Amino acid sequence: MTHDDILSENSFKFIPYNTGMPHLPLPEYGRNIQNMVDYCVEIPDREERTVCAHAIVGVMRTLFPQNVGENGDMKKFWDHLNIMARFELDIDFPCEVVTADTVNPRPAQLRYEKSPIRNRQYGRSLENIVKIVAMMEPGEERDRLISMIAHQMKKLLLTHNPDGVDNARILRDLYNYSEGRIDLDPNRYILHEFRDVTPVPKGKKGRNKKNRL
């Protein structure tokens, strides 16, 4: 037999690296037990498959006695067996085991507000804040929050109309948002004027974004 024949017969059979092998759901049990579980899942006869599963759990108990629960409880092993079987092991488990939903629960579905936004330039968050502040007891804290909200509303409107906004409109929107609970006289309640403080770079032309104070 020539050297080439030997190479052809062996077909370059090398020991495979773990990085090129299937992922282990529970690496602490090792590749050999995982192979046993994979074999067990593929057994066509249900009774034989169940016997095999019990045998695997027995091996797991021998190798990892620290996982045995109180009074010899084996539930942890059966849970791990089901996980390693990727929840595809069809047998009569001797106890209730974890499922895919309990191990990897689905995130709760996000709820979206379906009611229309009165003024998109303000956003829904500000609309909700106004409702909360409107229900507060009259006092210094409530007045301070109302002032902050009104000036924030003015800033938001200025982003859409940089040339200026009507203060009376802002107070009217605030009145409508609060269902009449926040009623400010535009002749007496004065909102700050905001000015552009963004420095203009030398030698550059074009319209710059404006920062307002």
β-pair partners for 212: 196
* pLDDT at site 5: 54
* pLDDT at site 139: 92
CB neighbours of residue 52 within 10 Å: 19
172-191 confidence digits (pLDDT tens): 999 998 989 999 998 888 88
Q: What are phi and psi of 123, to 5 degrees?
A: 90, 160
**159 burial type by CB count under 10 A (0-12 exposed, 13-18 middle, 19+ buried):** exposed
* pLDDT at site 46: 94
pLDDT of 8 > 90? The answer is no
25: tokens are: 């759901």
Region 142-147: what's the mean pLDDT?
A: 92
Helices and strands per DSSP (H, E), number in the chain: 8, 0
pLDDT of 14 > 80? The answer is no
- Annotated domain spans of the chain: 15-103, 115-213
* pLDDT at site 12: 44
76-130 confidence digits (pLDDT tens): 999 999 999 999 999 999 999 998 888 776 666 656 556 566 677 787 888 889 9
- Using left for φ > 0, alpha for ψ between -120 and 50, and beta otherwise, residue 11 falls in left
